[in-house]
Structure 1
Amino acid sequence: MQEAHSVVSAKNPFPPLFFSSKPHYFLSLSRPRSLHFLVLSTKTITPPLKPHKELQSVSPSPLSPPSTHSDFEEKMLYLDSMGLDFLSLINHYPPITTTSLSDIKSTVDFLVSMDFTALELRRMLSMCPEILTAQPSAILPIFTFLLREARVNGSDIKRVINRRPRLLVCGVESRLRPTLYFLQSIGIAEVNKHTSLLSCSVEQKLIPRIEYFKKIGFSRRETVSMFRRFPQLFNYSIKDNYEPKLNYFVVEMGRDLKELKEFPQYFSFSLENRIKPRHQCCVENGVCFPLPALLKTRDAQFRDRLEVCCNSSIPLKNSPLWFTNCNNDSIELES
C-alpha cells in the first residue's frame, strides 16, 4: 500500500489521514499546525546487495559511498522535527539509541491519538525521555488506571499527564496501585487531586518523610494528620527543604512545633524569599503573626497589616487579637 503521507498535493500539503506503524492506530490530521512533524517524509533505505561468494573475501573499494541513512540518523531527524534535542535526550536516557524508530513513532502516534498537541509532547518528552521507549500496550493500562481506580475525570486526564509525565512510565502493579493504596490508607481520600504523588515510591520516598517528622518529635497520629492536611508535603526534600526550614523555625524564629502541626504549608514557602524577610521584618517592629498571616498574605497586604499593628495599642490578653500583636517574649511567657 502506498504510504499515506506520500499523497500530497500543492493545494493540500497534508494528507487526510496519517497511519502509524501499528495498523490499528490512525489519526486525523485536521490540525496540521500541531501535528505537522508527524508527516516528516523519509527516504526508502535500500539494503546493500549481498556480494557474490567469489567476492566475499575482497575488501570493499575505498571509493564506495557509505550509507548516510542509518536508523540513528533517522531518529535524529524525526525527533528534531518535533523540536527535541536528540543528543540531550540520549544523554539523559541512553536506551533511546537502541529503540527502533518504528517503536518511537508508534508511541508518539498513540499519544497524539490521545489528543496531546505538538507543544505538549515536546514538553512531556523533554521532561521524561523514557516515554519514547514505552510501548502503547504499556501506556494504555496507565490511562485506564487513572480513570477507573484513581478516579481522574476524563476531562482532566491531559492536565494530569502534562503536570507529571513520569506517570506514563510507572507500572500499574509495581508503582501506581501500591502508592494509591498507601495514600488512601493514611486518609487521603481524593487522590485524584494529588495524582503527581502516584509516581512516588512508598518505600523510598513516602515512608521516609513520615519517619522524619516522627523523629523530630511528632507522634505518628500528628504526622499523618499533617500529611493528610497537606499531601504536597511528600514532594519536598528532607535535606534541602525540611532540615533548613525546620532549623530556622526552631532556632531563629523560636516557635513551637505545634504551629507546624496546624500549618504544614510552612514548608511550601521559600526560606530566603518569604520566610526570612518577613520574620526579620516582624522582629524589627516587635510584632509576631501566626504562620498563616505571616506567610500566606501578599506583600502589600502583609505591609498594611504590619503597619496597623505597629500603630495600634497592644490588645488585652483576653482579646482574640492578642497573638497577632505581641512580641516574642510575651509568647514565651504565655506558653
Structure 2
Amino acid sequence: MPTSPATALHFSLCLSSQKPTSPSSSAFQQPNTQLAAKPKSILHEHPLYTSTHKNLSLHIKEKVLCLEIMGIDSGKALSLNPSLHTATLDSIQSIISFIQSKGIHQKDFPRIFGMCPKILTSNIRTELNPVFNFLSQDLKVPDHNFRRVINKCPRLLVCSVRDQLKPCLFYLQRLGFEDLDALAYQDSVLLVSNVQNTLIPKLRYLESIGLSRNEAVDMVLRCPALFTFSVDNNFTPKYEYFAEEMKRKLGELKEFPQYFAFSLEKRIKPRHMEVVQSGVKVPLPLMLKSTDEEFMELITLSQGAG
C-alpha cells in the first residue's frame, strides 16, 4: 500500500475493518448512517436494486460508498462489472494501491474506473502488471508517463497483452506505424481495436471505393483516426455524398483523408451548398478546415476574382 493513500478513499476502505460488536453499538450506527445516506437514491433508482432491497448488507453499502467517493457511478459500475458484487474491499484496495504505484492520481479514478470498472476486479499479476510491462518494453513509455497513457486510453488496462495489445501493435507496425510515441500518447485507441473485425474491414472499404492497397494504407498512416470511424455510419454516407453530390475526384480524398473526420450534416453539406450557390471552386481542405469567417471571406474573394 502507498504510504499516503487518498484520505477519502482510505476512510471508506478502512470501514470494512470496523467490525461492530452488536447492531446497537454506536460504532455500527455511525458508519451505517454515513454509508446509507448518499448511496440510497442510487441503489433505489438502479435496476439492480429495486425498492424491495431495503436491507442491504454493510458490505454492499461500504462498496457503493467506496465507488461513489472515487467519483464513480456505483450503479453503472456494478452493472458493467457484476464481479464487483462479490469482490472484497481489500481486493479493490489492492487494485487501487497498485494503480497509484504506477503514478495514477486519485483525480483520474472517475474517468479510468468509470469507463472500465472491470479494472477493479482484475488480477494484478496476470492482467494489470503485464499491461504496464507492455507499455514500458514494447511502447518504450517511461514510468513517469504511464499516467498520461492510461488517461488517454483506460481500456488498455482491460486488454490482454498476449491476445490483443501485442498482435495489434505488430499489425500496425507492419502497416507502417513506426512512431511509438504517437501510438502511446495520441493513437493508443488503435491498440485496443480488433484487427480482424475493426481495422482490416476499414482498409477493405477504402479499397472498395477504388483505392489501391498502398493508397488506403497511406491514408490511414496520414490520418490514423480513419481506423476509429464506422464504415456504416461514417465512411459510406460521407463517400456517397462526396461522389454523388459533390462529384469530386477520388484523388482529392487521397490527398485529404481528414475529410471523413468532419461532420456530414454540420460541416460538409452546408459548406458544399455554399460553394455550389457561389459558383466558385474551392479545394476540399480549404472548404472544410477554414473557420466560418475564413470560409465566407474565401467565397467572397473568389467571387470577386471571378
| TM-score bracket for this pair, using the shorter chain length | 0.7 to 0.9
How big is each residue's C-alpha offset from its partner over 1:140-193, in whole Å with a ceiling of 9 and x where there is no partner?
221121122113344433222112100001111110000000000011111431
2:71 equivalent to 1:83: yes
| Structure 1 position 203, deviation (Å) | 1.0
Assess if the C-alpha contact under 8 Å between 1:184 and 1:191 holds in 2. Answer: no
Unaligned runs of 5+ in 2: 23-53
Calculate percent identity across the aligned residue pairs: 38
2:95 aligns with: 107
RMSD: 2.2
- Tell me the distance in 1 between the aligned counterparts of 2:144 and 2:300: 46
2:15 equivalent to 1:39: no
TM-score of the two chains, using structure 1 as the length reference: 0.74
How big is each residue's C-alpha offset from its partner over 1:309-331, in whole Å with a ceiling of 9 and x where there is no partner?
11113xxxxxxxxxxxxxxxxxx
How big is each residue's C-alpha offset from its partner over 1:227-257, in whole Å with a ceiling of 9 and x where there is no partner?
1111111011111111111111111111111
Corresponding residue SS for 2:305: coil
- Tell me the distance in 2 between the aligned counterparts of 1:68 and 1:185: 53
Task: Flag the structure with more relative contact order, 1 or 2, with Cα contacts below 8 A and sequence separation at least 6.
Answer: 2
- Tell me the distance in 2 between the aligned counterparts of 1:309 and 1:290: 12
- Tell me the distance in 1 between the aligned counterparts of 2:231 and 2:175: 20
2:222 aligns with: 229
| Structure 1 position 216, deviation (Å) | 2.1
TM-score of the two chains, using structure 2 as the length reference: 0.81
Q: CA, structure 1 residues 26+38, in 2 after alignment: closer, same or farther (shift >3 Å)?
A: same
Q: CA, structure 1 residues 310+97, in 2 after alignment: closer, same or farther (shift >3 Å)?
A: same
Q: Aligned residues, how many?
A: 268
1:289 aligns with: 282
Assess if the C-alpha contact under 8 Å between 2:234 and 2:260 holds in 1. Answer: yes
Corresponding residue SS for 1:37: helix
- The amino acid across from 2:181 in the alignment is N
- Tell me the distance in 1 between the aligned counterparts of 2:2 and 2:274: 61
- Tell me the distance in 2 between the aligned counterparts of 1:97 and 1:115: 27
Corresponding residue SS for 1:27: coil
Unaligned runs of 5+ in 1: 1-24, 49-65, 314-335
Assess if the C-alpha contact under 8 Å between 2:242 and 2:248 holds in 1. Answer: yes
1:166 aligns with: 155
Range with greater deviation from structure 2 (153-162 or 185-194): 153-162
- Tell me the distance in 2 between the aligned counterparts of 1:203 and 1:68: 44
Superposition pairs for residues 128-277 of structure 1, below 5 Å? 128-137=116-125, 138-193=127-182, 194-277=187-270
2:36 aligns with: none
Assess if the C-alpha contact under 8 Å between 1:93 and 1:129 holds in 2. Answer: yes
Corresponding residue SS for 2:234: helix
Q: CA, structure 1 residues 45+112, in 2 after alignment: closer, same or farther (shift >3 Å)?
A: same
- Tell me the distance in 1 between the aligned counterparts of 2:211 and 2:145: 36
Q: CA, structure 1 residues 167+283, in 2 after alignment: closer, same or farther (shift >3 Å)?
A: same
Corresponding residue SS for 2:290: coil
- Tell me the distance in 1 between the aligned counterparts of 2:225 and 2:140: 19
- Tell me the distance in 2 between the aligned counterparts of 1:125 and 1:223: 36
| Structure 1 position 68, deviation (Å) | 6.2
- The amino acid across from 1:300 in the alignment is E
- Tell me the distance in 2 between the aligned counterparts of 1:93 and 1:111: 18
Range with greater deviation from structure 2 (277-286 or 96-105): 96-105
Q: CA, structure 1 residues 153+260, in 2 after alignment: closer, same or farther (shift >3 Å)?
A: farther
2:271 equivalent to 1:298: no
1:10 aligns with: none
Assess if the C-alpha contact under 8 Å between 2:92 and 2:120 holds in 1. Answer: yes
Larger Rg: 1
1:332 aligns with: none
